[in-house]
Amino acid sequence: MYCRKCGAELKDGDIFCPKCGQKVEEEVHQETVRQEVVYKRQRDESLCNVGFIFCVIGTVVLGFAVFPLLWCIPMTIYVYNAIKDKKPMSVGLKVCVLLFVSLIGGIFLLLGDPDE
Ligand SMILES: [Zn+2]
Protein backbone atom coordinates (compact mmCIF):
# COMPACT_ATOMS: atom_id res chain seq x y z
CA MET A 1 0.00 0.00 0.00
CA TYR A 2 1.25 3.46 -0.90
CA CYS A 3 0.41 6.98 0.24
CA ARG A 4 -2.23 8.59 -1.94
CA LYS A 5 -0.55 12.00 -1.69
CA CYS A 6 3.22 11.43 -1.85
CA GLY A 7 3.52 7.80 -2.92
CA ALA A 8 5.57 6.68 0.11
CA GLU A 9 5.18 3.05 1.09
CA LEU A 10 2.87 2.52 4.06
CA LYS A 11 2.91 -0.23 6.61
CA ASP A 12 -0.23 -2.17 7.45
CA GLY A 13 -2.10 -0.37 10.19
CA ASP A 14 -0.60 3.06 9.44
CA ILE A 15 -3.21 5.73 10.00
CA PHE A 16 -1.00 8.60 8.76
CA CYS A 17 1.70 8.58 6.11
CA PRO A 18 5.08 8.60 7.92
CA LYS A 19 6.52 10.94 5.27
CA CYS A 20 3.85 13.59 4.63
CA GLY A 21 1.24 12.96 7.28
CA GLN A 22 -1.60 12.26 4.85
CA LYS A 23 -4.39 10.35 6.53
CA VAL A 24 -4.43 6.77 5.21
CA GLU A 25 -7.56 5.56 6.92
CA GLU A 26 -9.90 7.63 4.72
CA GLU A 27 -9.24 5.78 1.50
CA VAL A 28 -9.62 2.41 3.15
CA HIS A 29 -12.78 3.62 4.84
CA GLN A 30 -14.27 4.82 1.53
CA GLU A 31 -13.47 1.45 -0.03
CA THR A 32 -15.24 -0.29 2.86
CA VAL A 33 -18.27 1.98 2.45
CA ARG A 34 -18.37 1.25 -1.28
CA GLN A 35 -18.24 -2.49 -0.60
CA GLU A 36 -21.01 -2.15 1.98
CA VAL A 37 -23.21 -0.31 -0.54
CA VAL A 38 -22.64 -3.01 -3.16
CA TYR A 39 -23.31 -5.72 -0.61
CA LYS A 40 -26.48 -3.99 0.58
CA ARG A 41 -27.76 -3.60 -2.98
CA GLN A 42 -27.20 -7.30 -3.69
CA ARG A 43 -28.83 -8.34 -0.43
CA ASP A 44 -31.88 -6.19 -1.07
CA GLU A 45 -32.30 -7.72 -4.50
CA SER A 46 -32.24 -11.26 -3.15
CA LEU A 47 -34.67 -10.27 -0.39
CA CYS A 48 -36.98 -8.84 -3.02
CA ASN A 49 -36.67 -12.05 -5.03
CA VAL A 50 -37.61 -14.10 -1.95
CA GLY A 51 -40.51 -11.71 -1.33
CA PHE A 52 -41.64 -12.17 -4.92
CA ILE A 53 -41.50 -15.97 -4.60
CA PHE A 54 -43.66 -15.75 -1.46
CA CYS A 55 -46.09 -13.52 -3.35
CA VAL A 56 -46.41 -16.19 -6.04
CA ILE A 57 -46.86 -18.96 -3.44
CA GLY A 58 -49.40 -16.83 -1.56
CA THR A 59 -51.33 -16.16 -4.75
CA VAL A 60 -51.43 -19.86 -5.65
CA VAL A 61 -52.42 -20.90 -2.10
CA LEU A 62 -55.08 -18.18 -1.89
CA GLY A 63 -56.29 -19.21 -5.33
CA PHE A 64 -56.79 -22.78 -4.12
CA ALA A 65 -58.43 -21.53 -0.92
CA VAL A 66 -60.84 -19.24 -2.77
CA PHE A 67 -61.65 -21.72 -5.55
CA PRO A 68 -63.68 -24.13 -3.33
CA LEU A 69 -65.76 -21.17 -2.14
CA LEU A 70 -67.02 -20.91 -5.71
CA TRP A 71 -69.04 -24.08 -5.20
CA CYS A 72 -69.23 -24.32 -1.38
CA ILE A 73 -71.23 -21.11 -1.00
CA PRO A 74 -73.80 -21.77 -3.80
CA MET A 75 -74.26 -25.41 -2.70
CA THR A 76 -74.76 -24.44 0.95
CA ILE A 77 -77.26 -21.75 -0.08
CA TYR A 78 -79.03 -24.28 -2.35
CA VAL A 79 -79.31 -26.80 0.54
CA TYR A 80 -80.55 -24.03 2.86
CA ASN A 81 -83.24 -23.00 0.36
CA ALA A 82 -84.23 -26.61 -0.33
CA ILE A 83 -84.75 -27.27 3.40
CA LYS A 84 -86.56 -23.97 3.97
CA ASP A 85 -88.89 -24.37 0.95
CA LYS A 86 -89.20 -28.15 1.47
CA LYS A 87 -87.97 -28.67 -2.09
CA PRO A 88 -86.59 -32.08 -3.01
CA MET A 89 -82.82 -32.52 -2.96
CA SER A 90 -81.37 -35.00 -5.45
CA VAL A 91 -79.04 -37.74 -4.28
CA GLY A 92 -76.46 -36.29 -6.65
CA LEU A 93 -76.57 -32.96 -4.83
CA LYS A 94 -76.19 -34.66 -1.44
CA VAL A 95 -73.24 -36.72 -2.68
CA CYS A 96 -71.66 -33.57 -4.09
CA VAL A 97 -72.16 -31.84 -0.74
CA LEU A 98 -70.64 -34.89 0.97
CA LEU A 99 -67.60 -34.88 -1.33
CA PHE A 100 -66.95 -31.20 -1.89
CA VAL A 101 -68.48 -29.20 0.97
CA SER A 102 -68.82 -31.27 4.12
CA LEU A 103 -68.50 -35.03 4.58
CA ILE A 104 -70.58 -35.06 7.78
CA GLY A 105 -73.05 -32.53 6.38
CA GLY A 106 -73.62 -34.69 3.29
CA ILE A 107 -74.18 -37.83 5.42
CA PHE A 108 -76.76 -35.99 7.56
CA LEU A 109 -78.53 -34.73 4.43
CA LEU A 110 -78.65 -38.29 3.03
CA LEU A 111 -79.97 -39.67 6.35
CA GLY A 112 -82.40 -36.82 6.97
CA ASP A 113 -83.98 -36.81 3.52
CA PRO A 114 -84.06 -40.42 2.28
CA ASP A 115 -87.06 -40.02 -0.07
CA GLU A 116 -85.28 -39.95 -3.43
ZN1 LIG B 1 2.53 10.59 2.17
**18 CA from centroid of ligand 1 (Å):** 7
**10 CA from centroid of ligand 1 (Å):** 8
Q: Are 6 and 22 in contact (CB under 8 A)?
A: yes
**16 CA from centroid of ligand 1 (Å):** 8
Give pLDDT tens digits for 49-104: 888 898 888 888 888 777 777 888 888 999 999 899 988 888 888 888 888 888 88
Residue 116's pLDDT band, with cuts at 50, 70 and 90, is low
**CA 89-90-93 angle, 5° bins:** 90
**8 CA from centroid of ligand 1 (Å):** 5
Coil vs helix vs strand at 16 = strand
**87 CA from centroid of ligand 1 (Å):** 99
